[in-house]
């Protein structure tokens, strides 16, 4: 069985979608069990504006990942993978996966699947925001995006929240399957070296992990720091993640409100250091305004770190019950939640951490997610 995934970007490009695709590919690819998995993608690190990955990072690409050239679409953020249809034909797929609503790889894959009667699984990673209310987007939604949904044998969503958004938009969906990203809880059991100490960062550490881009709420987190610092003088905010155009603005904001000495932008960390950061942080805070899932929340809980996150989108779905009361909707709530978490005794924090780890292990296991995908393959092969 040859399974072909098409996506706009793929690791080492950073992002939740990119990581999700990579995990599904690597965990389902098994030649001995008859699953030959391929990936058609681009060389892009980011697409708005377009920026390519460092070529040296692509030297370790596995042989089943093929990166196509890309073209801009005039006036639209809709990069196109050149000769995608040709390479789909070349690989002779038995199953097709397309990712991300509004992007050309999924749209082309959907039409190819319909024309050639190939089973098609669509992972829309669907969301709506102000940009997607514009006329251009609405026209795409009506005339192109709708047909992509229509061509899908199965629409895979990563949270019930995403499914509700799609249902509210009245897209034609034959079958939904909820298959969230997974977390290897065992990966977080082994203690890692403290990445803060080597950078001489000491004190009460608030950690946030995300791309530095609009919509992640990082400005809100920085703006409450003066209030928190008046009560907790040794507070330190550590921001982990690649810059997607927002870093300088965040630095200017920190200097303007006088907290630049308490903020540390570490960029992208290795997996070892990232796990160490989760483990050693005092509190993990996720101020993002939108998440279709929120894998960093699940990972921080697997590491045993107290969670504070914005009460929006799919974030409550990923947050363990004992941290639900720490979800916030305003800056005042955020400050109060930070102080309440710090006031909790050590025994209470440890008990919450154990319960949160169990919650992640039960609800967000890669084994469960991968088994669902493999069952879909079997179902679709039998029905076509």
The answer to whether residues 209 and 113 belong to one domain is no
285-327 confidence digits (pLDDT tens): 999 998 889 999 999 999 999 999 999 999 999 999 999 999 9
Non-local CB neighbours of 74 within 8 Å, separated by 6+ positions: none
Non-local CB neighbours of 160 within 8 Å, separated by 6+ positions: 178, 314, 317
- pLDDT exceeds 80 at position 28: yes
- pLDDT exceeds 80 at position 198: yes
Whole-number pLDDT of residue 76: 82
Whole-number pLDDT of residue 81: 97
The answer to whether residues 233 and 333 belong to one domain is yes
The answer to whether residues 138 and 212 belong to one domain is no
The answer to whether residues 194 and 111 belong to one domain is no
CATH for 310 = 3.40.50.2000
333-356 confidence digits (pLDDT tens): 999 999 999 998 888 889 999 999
Pick from 218, 223, 195: nearest CA to 208: 218
- In the chain, how many domains are there? 2
The answer to whether residues 241 and 292 belong to one domain is yes
The answer to whether residues 211 and 106 belong to one domain is no
Q: DSSP secondary-structure letter at 199?
A: G
The answer to whether residues 113 and 19 belong to one domain is yes
Sheet strands (E) in 68-198 = 70-73, 76-81, 95-99, 120-123, 154-157, 176-178
Residue with tokens 């803060």: 196
The answer to whether residues 379 and 256 belong to one domain is no
| Phi, psi values for residue 241, rounded to 5° | 150, 155
223-273 confidence digits (pLDDT tens): 999 999 999 999 999 999 999 899 999 999 999 999 999 999 999 999 999
Structural domain including 31 reads: 2-182+365-383
The answer to whether residues 50 and 65 belong to one domain is yes
159-178 confidence digits (pLDDT tens): 999 999 999 999 999 999 99
The answer to whether residues 114 and 89 belong to one domain is yes
The answer to whether residues 160 and 32 belong to one domain is yes
- pLDDT exceeds 80 at position 129: no
DSSP-derived pairing of the beta strands 2-6 and 95-99: parallel
The answer to whether residues 298 and 189 belong to one domain is yes
Whole-number pLDDT of residue 381: 87
- Confirm whether pTM is higher than 0.95: no
Whole-number pLDDT of residue 304: 96
How far is CA 99 from each of CA 17, 23, 121, 157, 360, rounded to the nearest angstrom? 8, 14, 9, 11, 25
Tell the burial category of 185 from Cβ atoms under 10 Å away from its Cβ (0-12, 13-18, 19+). Answer: buried
pLDDT (average), residues 33-38: 94
Residue with tokens 């979608």: 17
Whole-number pLDDT of residue 250: 97
74-109 confidence digits (pLDDT tens): 878 899 999 999 999 999 999 999 999 999 999 999
């Amino acid at each position: 069985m040859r399974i072909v995934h098409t996506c706009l970007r793929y690791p080492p490009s950073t992002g939740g979608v990119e990581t999700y695709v990579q995990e599904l590919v690597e965990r389902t690819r098994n030649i001995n069990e008859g699953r030959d998995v391929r990936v058609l993608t681009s060389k892009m690190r980011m697409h708005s504006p377009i920026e390519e990955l460092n070529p040296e990072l692509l030297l370790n690409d596995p042989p089943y990942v093929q990166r196509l050239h890309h073209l801009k679409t005039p006036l639209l953020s809709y990069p196109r993978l050149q000769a995608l249809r040709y390479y789909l034909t070349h690989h002779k797929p038995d199953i097709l996966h397309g990712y991300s609503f509004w992007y050309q790889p999924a749209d082309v894959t959907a039409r190819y699947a319909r024309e050639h009667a190939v089973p098609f699984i669509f992972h829309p990673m669907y969301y709506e925001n102000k940009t997607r209310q514009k006329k251009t987007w609405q026209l795409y939604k009506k005339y192109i995006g709708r047909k992509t949904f229509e061509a899908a044998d199965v629409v895979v969503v990563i949270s019930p929240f995403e499914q509700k958004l799609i249902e509210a938009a009245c897209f034609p969906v034959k079958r939904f399957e909820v298959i969230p990203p997974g977390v290897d809880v065992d990966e977080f059991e082994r203690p890692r070296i403290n990445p803060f100490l080597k950078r001489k960062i000491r004190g009460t550490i608030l950690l946030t992990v995300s791309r530095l881009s609009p919509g992640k709420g990082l400005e809100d987190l920085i703006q409450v720091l003066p209030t928190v610092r008046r009560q907790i003088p040794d507070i330190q905010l550590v921001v982990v993640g690649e810059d997607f155009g927002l870093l300088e603005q965040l630095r200017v904001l920190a200097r303007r409100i006088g907290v630049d000495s308490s903020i540390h932008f570490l960029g992208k960390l290795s997996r070892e250091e990232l796990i160490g950061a989760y483990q050693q942080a005092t509190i993990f805070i996720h101020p993002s305004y939108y998440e279709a899932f929120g894998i960093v929340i699940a990972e921080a809980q697997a590491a045993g770190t107290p969670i504070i996150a914005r009460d929006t989108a799919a974030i409550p779905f990923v947050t363990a019950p004992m941290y639900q009361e720490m979800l916030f909707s305003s800056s005042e709530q955020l400050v109060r939640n930070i102080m309440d978490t710090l006031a909790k005794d050590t025994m209470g924090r440890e008990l919450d951490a154990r319960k949160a780890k169990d919650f992640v292990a039960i609800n967000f296991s890669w084994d469960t997610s991968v088994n669902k995908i493999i069952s879909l393959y079997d179902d679709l092969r039998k029905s076509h």
